[in-house]
């Protein structure tokens, strides 16, 4: 193992996406991650299509969140398997779980019991709506949580729309990693572990940013944001003669640069300040799109780039993964899968100044088959 977390053993009891994404992040950073699966396997193994085998047990969904892990199958209701987990806990640094509140307790692995086995253990618990409160028992599925947490009320043009990726799961996973790293830092001083908790609800409410303070401070209820920023103009997506482009005039100097490129007066009445431009956004968007209708997207992107105005394409995913800039950042990994052969996966978003590869390790392992490492792990810990 190499990487900044190479001395850590992580037990991943999570399923679906939030927890597996958190555990994969630690694995990317060098931790040894053992994925503990029920005999049926992680639910996400069957979330398809697309599937990559005839048995429909290798979904691309599962492949997205489980690299750099070993897989062992344990039935925690079976005494021998529960005993094996106890021995693993005794040696682990982190245990991650995303059961509904109380489930792990009923299996005999409450936080108190886990800390009896290993007082240094960091426990990450990810739930749907929090571990306490009147609705703690609710199942946590991303789309439901996106609606309940208000994200869908901000997303879309004419009707509330979910984000195109499971943003609640992913942000909860990232928040879980932040909490685990903070607890590990504290453990270095105290010698004791603790429980870290987050939820899909907490992560998305914490993700509201300026939209949240529009309500909590200004008592405005934000509506659908559509393709344009609610507080800055021009800042959004604009049609051209061929394809849409995006522009971000995030300062008065950028507005002046855009006007200079187009031969417009930046001090024109009704457009001279951001406040005026936001108030007159509809007319401003129509004016810009009428201007952009005369030439293809590439023409306008080149002109805006020369003027120093931030602008960009709206890329499809095939374009993103074939883009030289994406690949230059280590955002595409090649791994050798035991049945699929060489496959490419989206890479880690982290790089360090002493390497040029994705995450904290130079070589990444493919997501495991169900129980691929069971025999070796049973021998090691049994």
Would you please indicate which residues are annotated as catalytic (active-site) residues? 169
> Residue 96: beta bridge partners?
12, 124
Place of tokens 């049926």: 40
Separation of CA 158 from chain center: 26
Handedness of CA 93, 95, 96, 100 (dihedral sign): negative
Handedness of CA 79, 85, 88, 90 (dihedral sign): negative
Residue 48 φ/ψ, nearest 5 degrees = -160, -175
What are 33's two structure tokens? 């991650």
Place of tokens 């699966």: 37
Give the number of other Cβ atoms within 10 Å of residue 71's Cβ: 22
* Residue 374 preceded by cis peptide, ω within 30: no
Whole-number Å distance between alpha carbons of 193 and 284:
56
204, 146 in Cβ contact below 8 A? yes
For 27-82, the DSSP string reads HHTT-EEEEEE-TT--GGGG--SSBSSTTS--BHHHHTS--S-EEEE--TTSHHHH
Residues recorded for the chain? 382
């Amino acid at each position: 193992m190499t990487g900044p977390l190479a001395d850590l053993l992580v037990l991943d009891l999570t399923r679906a996406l939030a927890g597996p994404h958190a555990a994969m992040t630690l694995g990317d950073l060098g931790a040894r991650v053992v994925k503990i699966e029920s005999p049926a396997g992680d639910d996400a193994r069957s979330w398809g299509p697309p599937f990559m085998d005839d048995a429909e047990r290798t979904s691309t969904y599962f492949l997205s969140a489980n690299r750099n892990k070993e897989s062992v199958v344990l039935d925690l209701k079976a005494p021998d398997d529960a005993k094996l987990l106890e021995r693993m806990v005794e040696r682990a640094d982190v245990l991650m779980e995303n059961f509904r509140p109380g489930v792990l307790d009923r299996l005999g692995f409450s936080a108190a019991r886990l800390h009896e086995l290993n007082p240094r253990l960091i426990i990450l618990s990810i739930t749907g709506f929090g571990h306490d409160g009147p609705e703690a028992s609710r199942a946590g599925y991303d789309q439901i949580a996106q609606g309940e947490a208000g994200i869908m009320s901000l997303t879309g043009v004419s009707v509330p729309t979910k984000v195109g990726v499971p943003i609640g799961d992913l942000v909860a996973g990232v928040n879980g990693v932040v909490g685990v790293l903070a607890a590990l830092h504290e453990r270095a001083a105290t010698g004791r572990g603790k429980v870290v908790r987050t939820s899909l609800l907490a992560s998305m409410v914490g993700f509201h940013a300026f939209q949240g303070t529009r309500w909590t401070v200004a008592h405005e209820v934000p509506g659908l944001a559509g393709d344009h920023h609610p507080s800055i103009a021009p800042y959004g997506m604009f049609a051209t003669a061929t394809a849409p482009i995006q522009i971000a005039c995030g300062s008065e100097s950028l507005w002046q640069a855009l006007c200079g490129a187009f031969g417009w007066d930046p001090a024109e009445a009704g457009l001279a300040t951001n406040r005026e431009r936001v108030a007159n956004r509809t007319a401003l968007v129509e004016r810009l799109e009428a201007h952009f209708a005369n030439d293809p997207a590439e023409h306008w992107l080149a002109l805006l780039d020369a003027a120093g105005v931030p602008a960009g394409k709206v890329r499809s995913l095939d374009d993103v993964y074939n883009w030289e800039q994406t690949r230059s950042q280590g955002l595409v990994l090649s791994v050798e899968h035991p049945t699929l052969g060489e496959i490419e996966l989206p890479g880690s978003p982290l790089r360090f100044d002493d390497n040029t590869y994705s995450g904290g390790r130079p070589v990444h392992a493919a997501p495991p088959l169900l129980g691929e490492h069971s025999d070796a792990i049973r021998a090691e810990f049994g």
